[in-house]
């Protein structure tokens, strides 16, 4: 069953409404996410449906051939990451008005994490090589499916 949650950026120019399955939060420890958040990792929650208001304030940055990082152009708040042109977004859970029921679930690019960053007990973990292999398999499958 999906759960509807609402949130907003720091200045309130952008609001969002998302549908999430479960309340699993993922942490990405890659060096790009670290720089983007200014500390890191990038915490995110998978949103199968994402509705936003304040489109004029929404800015995005394409840092690679596949990823897109979206933020509030007024206050700089991290909004979400997604694969370019895909509906599924990985939204920063810190934006959400109600954070009850969210739990840390997975950590990715764990071998890229800052030396001072501790892993959380009980999370599933993947390395950069594992993530890139999965991405490649996903892109291959998508190409094959047309």
Q: Which of 27, 28, 91, 102 is close enough to bind Zn ion by CB under 5 A?
A: 28
Q: Taking a C-beta distance cutoff of 8 angstroms, is the pair 113, 45 a contact?
A: no
Q: Taking a C-beta distance cutoff of 8 angstroms, is the pair 72, 79 a contact?
A: yes
Interaction residues for Zn ion, span 33-72 (CB under 5 A): 33, 72
Three-class DSSP labels, 18-60: EEEEEEEEEEECCHHHHHHHCCCCEEEEEEEEEEEECHHHEEE
Using DSSP, state whether 143 is helix, strand or coil. helix
Of 96 and 145, nearer to Zn ion (C-beta) is 96
CB of 21 to Zn ion, least distance (A): 21
**Residues near Zn ion (CB under 5 A), total:** 9
First CA to last CA distance, the chain: 30
Residue among 75, 89, 101, 106 nearest 18 (CA): 89
Of 3 and 138, nearer to Zn ion (C-beta) is 138
Interaction residues for Zn ion, span 66-125 (CB under 5 A): 72, 74-75
CB of 17 to Zn ion, least distance (A): 16
Q: Which of 18, 20, 30, 95 is close enough to bind Zn ion by CB under 5 A?
A: 30
Of 35 and 103, nearer to Zn ion (C-beta) is 35
Q: Which residues here bind Zn ion, judged by CB under 5 A?
A: 9, 11, 13, 28, 30, 33, 72, 74-75
């Amino acid at each position: 069953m999906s759960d509807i949650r609402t949130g907003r950026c720091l200045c309130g120019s952008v609001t969002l409404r998302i549908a999430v399955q479960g309340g699993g939060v993922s942490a990405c420890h890659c060096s790009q996410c670290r720089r983007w958040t200014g500390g890191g990792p990038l915490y995110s929650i998978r949103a199968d449906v994402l509705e936003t208001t304040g489109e004029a304030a929404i800015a995005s940055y394409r840092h690679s051939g596949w990823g897109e990082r979206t933020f509030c152009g007024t206050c700089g708040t991290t909004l979400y990451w997604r694969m370019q042109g895909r509906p599924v977004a990985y939204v920063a859970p810190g934006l959400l008005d109600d954070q009850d029921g969210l739990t840390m679930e997975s950590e990715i690019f764990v071998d890229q994490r800052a030396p001072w960053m501790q892993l959380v007990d009980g999370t599933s973990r993947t390395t950069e090589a594992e993530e890139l292999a999965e991405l490649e398999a996903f892109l291959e499958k998508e190409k094959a499916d047309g």
